[in-house]
Amino acid sequence: MGGQLSITAAYTAAPAKEISVFDYSQILFAALLGIFFLGQYPDLLSLLGYAVIIWAAVWKWKYGRRHPEG
């Protein structure tokens, strides 16, 4: 809940294109919590999916910084 409230507060303080990349960190934290507390280890396809999602978010963020008009 604290993380969601922090993300919501961040969206009020900065442009969405600057913050949205951090919103995808939820995926990593969910995987880590599953490993540490539930013993649920992601399979190879899940790890590949995490990598694709994180890569796309970072690429979109970097692209947005280079091309601010759209």
- pLDDT of 49 reads 92
What whole-number distance in Å separates Cα of residue 44 and Cα of residue 60? 24
- The answer to whether 31 and 50 are in contact (CB under 8 A) is yes
Query: In the predicted model, is pLDDT for residue 48 greater than 80?
Result: yes
- pLDDT of 70 reads 55
User: pLDDT tens, 6-45?
Assistant: 878 888 888 877 777 777 778 888 889 999 999 999 999 9
What whole-number distance in Å separates Cα of residue 66 and Cα of residue 55? 17
Query: In the predicted model, is pLDDT for residue 64 greater than 80?
Result: no
What angle, rounded to 10 degrees, do the helices at 2-13 and 16-23 form? 160
Whether this model's pTM surpasses 0.85: no
Backbone angles phi, psi at 24, to 5 degrees: -75, -10
